[in-house]
Chains A and B, each alone.
Chain A
Amino acid sequence: MKPSRAGWSADDQNKDQMVGERNILLVEDEFLIRFLISESLRDEGYTVLEATDGEEGLAVLLSGQPVDLMITDVRMPGGIDGMELTRRSKALAPARPVIVCSGHLMSSEAAPADIFLAKPYLADALVKEVTKLMGTAWKTDTQTRSA
């Protein structure tokens, strides 16, 4: 039996992403925000990898797990802030979209992020931005496969 999540094949251990899956790395040090956002994204069918700071986020990026999109806070404890993590992500995978969320940054300072979201924001607003970047075709793929 083949598992449904990317990077989890029990048979061949390959890390190929399966059709109908989108993996999002969420990097946020505030527990309640992280919980709320990750649950909102999971409700929409995304697989969410949660990281609590930039160093954890980088570890996930370097681990080889498929990450289709990264969402990151900017100010976080530790040696890597959200902007540095964004630069590292773009260096590893230039085409991978990044959404930066901050209550302290101006949108003009958010480059090379693809989208800037000023805090505080509604979970629905973030989900809408994710949908814009990820599209909805992959959900159709899932429905087609399960039909």
Chain B
Amino acid sequence: MENRHADAQCLIVADGDVLIRNALAEYLRHCGYKVIEAANSDEVLTALRRGTASADAVLADAELAGSINAFELRIRLREEFPAITTVLAGSVDAAAKAAGQLCDDGPHLRRPYEPEKVVAHIKRLLAAVKRQAP
């Protein structure tokens, strides 16, 4: 098995909406990051406490679900993992913009599209689900 992440920086993308989470995570992987996906605050803490990875940053939805909310999560991370930067995003646009900034500052593997394209992609996916939902 190849080791894809020998020197890659690691991010945790935490969002309760699967389509947003998947899209942001894939975008950041394209930029060269190792990305862990978390659906709620408990999964973020599990990832870090169980030593799944030593993340450099957490990009979280400000309305993240879980036993603690996103703001409490940021406080908890600051206490337990002070080296980790936590970015809270209040909207899809803000999350994509934050991901774009991480790409600018990050590994620069490649950057095939702008954050606006990520938002447009997410909106198309959400609209498709809405159209097909019974």
- Asked if B6 is an interface residue, CB under 8 A from chain A, the answer is no
B26→A47 contact, CB < 8 A: yes
Of the stretches A5-13, A93-101, A105-113, A128-136, the one at the interface is A5-13
A63→B125 contact, CB < 8 A: yes
Q: How far is the CA of A40 from the CA of B1 in the complex (A)?
A: 8
Of the stretches A51-59, A79-87, A114-122, the one at the interface is A51-59
Q: How far is the CA of A47 from the CA of B110 in the complex (A)?
A: 17
Chain A residues closer than 8 Å to B132, beta-carbon distance: 62
Decide: A35 near B125, CB < 8 A? Known: A5-B26, A47-B26, A52-B18: no
B18→A35 contact, CB < 8 A: no
A63→B37 contact, CB < 8 A: no
CB distance from B78 to the nearest CB of A (A): 22
Q: How far is the CA of A82 from the CA of B133 in the complex (A)?
A: 18
CB distance from B133 to the nearest CB of A (A): 7
Decide: A8 near B112, CB < 8 A? Known: A63-B129, A64-B125: yes
Residue of B nearest to A92 (CB): B132
How many residues of chain A are within 8 Å of chain B by beta carbon? 29
- Asked if B39 is an interface residue, CB under 8 A from chain A, the answer is yes
Contact partner, B19, options A8, A10, A35, A63, Cβ 8 Å = A63
Chain B residues closer than 8 Å to A10, beta-carbon distance: 112-114, 117
Contact partner, A59, options B18, B43, B46, B120, Cβ 8 Å = B18
Instruction: Count contacts between A and B, CB distance < 8 Å.
Output: 74
Chain B residues closer than 8 Å to A64, beta-carbon distance: 124-125, 128
- Asked if B54 is an interface residue, CB under 8 A from chain A, the answer is no
Contact partner, A1, options B19, B38, B112, Cβ 8 Å = B112
- Asked if B97 is an interface residue, CB under 8 A from chain A, the answer is no
Chain A residues closer than 8 Å to B19, beta-carbon distance: 59-60, 63
A43→B4 contact, CB < 8 A: yes
Provide the B107-119 mask, 1 if CB < 8 A to any CB of A, else 0.
0001011100100
25 pairs of residues in contact across A and B, judged by CB atoms under 8 Å: A1-B112, A3-B113, A4-B30, A4-B112, A8-B30, A8-B112, A10-B117, A13-B124, A31-B39, A32-B50, A32-B52, A35-B36, A35-B47, A40-B1, A42-B4, A43-B3, A50-B18, A50-B25, A52-B18, A56-B39, A62-B128, A63-B19, A63-B126, A63-B128, A63-B129
